[in-house]
Amino acid sequence: MKAYQLIQTKIATGQLPAGTLLSELAIAKELGSSRTPVREAAGQLLAEGLLDLNPGGGLVVTQLTRQAIIDLYELREALEVFAVGRAARDGVRPADKTRLESFLEETQALIRELKNSGKPELNVEQMKRFSVADLSFHALLIRLAANVRILKVVNDTRLMIRIFAIHKSGHCREELERIYKHHRAILQAVLQRNPEEAKRLLAEHIQASARERLDEFDQWERESHLTALDASAPFVV
């Protein structure tokens, strides 16, 4: 378990960037253990998609392709939409309603802070707060469906998207307001016990997020291509 958590943390924090060859020996030395638990942890991370087989041998940190991003969002949509439909059908306890509202209030607070600061986007600390609120909102909706396996798969999927997809420095006010409106409408449909509306709204929300992520990926690819062309151009004096 320690080896698994260490490798996952190193990937999540960027200490092991995409394409990096995993050194079982280095991880074992850091843990003060044999290579056996490291090899077992690496096998689990390979199965979960955080590591890939290296053609030259060993394992490397996964680099998501455009199609992989599409696949991850389609999986997330299928599972979350099912879960929110069940949550809307079964109803929400007052305590869970209060918690869901608190996550929306955190997003509202960030919108106010951004407006008052006059800055164009959230800073690093504010993005962390938003990420926690956003993840918690979606995770609680899934928990209300009382299916721990769905929650595990969705959390792993969101982790992969967050780690490997292209990131912007921070959300702007317009993006935050759009996300807040989506979350508010989804919650309202759940509280009104309207499964079909809740499912429709959540599907639209996830699809919008997927489009943004793909746009970021496409922009990154274009910029990488231009950089490669500049690097290969002959130097003229």
Look up residue 62 and give its amino acid.
T
Of 96-100, 185-189, 230-234, the one with minimum mean pLDDT is 230-234
pLDDT in tens, 142-153: 999 888 888 888
pLDDT in tens, 155-180: 888 877 776 655 556 789 999 999 99
pTM of the prediction?
Answer: 0.78
Average pLDDT over residues 215-221: 83
Which residue ranges does the chain devote to CATH 1.10.10.10?
2-61
Look up the CATH superfamily of 66-209.
GntR ligand-binding domain-like (1.20.120.530)
28 Cβ contact list (under 8 Å, min separation 6): 3, 34, 35, 37, 38
Distance CA 147, CA 28 (A): 35
pLDDT in tens, 79-118: 999 999 999 999 999 999 999 999 999 999 999 999 999 9
Average pLDDT, the chain: 88
Average pLDDT over residues 185-211: 96
Above 80 in pLDDT, residue 230? no
Look up residue 171 and give its amino acid.
H
Distance CA 10, CA 2 (A): 12
pLDDT the model gives residue 167: 56
Which residue ranges does the chain devote to CATH 1.20.120.530?
66-209
Do 52 and 17 form a contact (C-beta atoms < 8 A)?
A: no
Of residues 88, 86, 199, the one with CA closest to residue 146: 86
pLDDT in tens, 42-70: 998 888 888 889 888 899 988 878 898 89
Count of residues making up the chain: 237
Of residues 191, 227, 177, 159, the one with CA closest to residue 8: 159
pLDDT the model gives residue 152: 84
pLDDT the model gives residue 232: 63
- Sign of the alpha-carbon dihedral angle for 228, 231, 236, 237: positive
pLDDT the model gives residue 212: 87
79 Cβ contact list (under 8 Å, min separation 6): 142, 150, 153, 154, 157
- 2-61 adopts what CATH topology? Arc Repressor Mutant, subunit A (1.10.10)
108 Cβ contact list (under 8 Å, min separation 6): 180
pLDDT the model gives residue 231: 64
